[in-house]
Structure 1
Amino acid sequence: MPDQTRQMSLIAFLQAQNCSNYVGSWRHPASMTDFLSADYFTRIARTLEDATFDMAFFDDRLAMPDIYGQSHDLAVRHGIRSVKMDPTPILMAMAMATRHLGLGATYSTTYYEPFHVARLFATLDLMTGGRVAWNIVTSMNDSEAANFGRASHLEHDLRYDRADEFLQIVRDMWTSWDDDALVLDKSSGEFADPGKVRRTAFNGKYFDVNGTFTVPRSRQGHPVLLQAGSSGRGRAFTGRWADVVFTAYSSREAGEKQYRAVKQAVADAGRDPGQVVVAPAIGVVTAETPELVEKKYELIDALARPEDSLALLCEVLNTDLSTRPYDEPFTDKELADMSWQGLRDRVIQLSGTANPSVRDFVQYSGRGSLPKGGSTLVGTPTQIADQLETWFGTCCDGFVISAASVPGTYEDFARLIVPELRRRGLVKETYAGDTLRGNLGLPAPAPFAQGARA
Structure 2
Amino acid sequence: MTKNRRMALGAFLPAPGHHLAAWRHPDSYPQGGLEFDYYRKLALAAERGMFDLMFLSDGAGVRTAYKDADELSRQGRMVHFEPITLLSALATHTTHLGLVATASTSYNEPFNIARKFSSLDFLSAGRAGWNVVTSATDAEARNFNLDRQAPHADRYARAREFMEVVTGLWDSWEDDAFLYNKESGRFFDPEKLHILDHHGEHFSVRGPLNLARSPQGHPVIVQAGASPDGKDFAAHWAEVVFTVQQNLDAGREFYRDVKQRTQDAGRDPEQVKVLPGVFTVVGRTRGEAEDKYEQLQSLVDPVIGLGMLSYQLGMVDLSGYDLDGPLPEMPSIEGSTSKQDVVVQHARDNNLSIRQLYLSIAAGRGHRFLLGTAEEIADQLEEWFVEGAADGFNVMPDMLPRGLDDFSDLVVPVLQKRGLVRTEYEGTTLRENLGLRRPENRTA
Q: Which residue of 1 aligns with 2:441?
A: 447
Q: What SS does the aligned partner of 1:68 have?
A: coil
Q: Which residue of 2 aligns with 1:275?
A: 271
Equivalent runs, 1:242-257 vs 2, <5 Å:
242-257=238-253
Q: Which residue of 2 aligns with 1:14?
A: 13
Output the TM-score relative to the length of structure 1.
0.91
1:55 partner amino acid? L
Q: Indicate conservation of the 8 Å contact 2:18/2:363, yes or no.
A: no
1:40 partner amino acid? Y
Equivalent runs, 1:285-304 vs 2, <5 Å:
285-304=281-300
2:93 partner amino acid? A
Q: What SS does the aligned partner of 2:394 have?
A: strand
Equivalent runs, 1:8-407 vs 2, <5 Å:
8-15=7-14, 17=15, 19-35=16-32, 36-69=34-67, 71-75=68-72, 77-319=73-315, 321=317, 323-326=319-322, 335-352=331-348, 359-360=353-354, 363=357, 367-370=361-364, 375-393=368-386, 394-407=388-401
Q: What SS does the aligned partner of 2:206 have?
A: strand
Distance in 1 (alpha carbons) for counterparts of 2:250 and 2:354:
19
1:42 partner amino acid? R
Q: What SS does the aligned partner of 2:424 have?
A: coil
Cα displacement string for residues 74-113 of structure 1 (whole angstroms, at most 9, x for unaligned residues): 23x2134211431112112222111111111000000000
Q: Indicate conservation of the 8 Å contact 1:351/1:364, yes or no.
A: no
Matched, 1:433 2:427: yes
Shift in alpha-carbon separation, 1:249–1:328, aligned structure 2, 3 A: closer
Q: What's the CA shift for 1:236?
A: 0.3
Distance in 2 (alpha carbons) for counterparts of 1:179 and 1:349:
48
Distance in 1 (alpha carbons) for counterparts of 2:369 and 2:276:
11
1:400 partner amino acid? N
Shift in alpha-carbon separation, 1:111–1:316, aligned structure 2, 3 A: farther
Q: What's the CA shift for 1:328?
A: 8.1
Q: Which residue of 2 aligns with 1:422?
A: 416
| Count of matched residue pairs | 440
Q: What's the CA shift for 1:369?
A: 3.4
Distance in 1 (alpha carbons) for counterparts of 2:441 and 2:108:
24
Distance in 2 (alpha carbons) for counterparts of 1:366 and 1:226:
27
When the two chains are superposed, the root-mean-square deviation of aligned CA atoms in Å is: 2.4
Distance in 2 (alpha carbons) for counterparts of 1:137 and 1:317:
18
Q: Indicate conservation of the 8 Å contact 2:412/2:421, yes or no.
A: yes
Distance in 2 (alpha carbons) for counterparts of 1:155 and 1:362:
31
Output the TM-score relative to the length of structure 2.
0.93
Structure 2 unaligned regions, length at least 5: none
Structure 1 unaligned regions, length at least 5: none
Dislocated runs of 4+, deviation >4 Å: 326-331, 356-362, 364-367
Q: What's the CA shift for 1:201?
A: 1.9
Q: Indicate conservation of the 8 Å contact 1:316/1:339, yes or no.
A: no
1:123 partner amino acid? S
Identical counterparts, % of pairs: 39
Shift in alpha-carbon separation, 1:320–1:247, aligned structure 2, 3 A: closer
Cα displacement string for residues 282-333 of structure 1 (whole angstroms, at most 9, x for unaligned residues): 01111212222222222232233332333234434443516443458656xx
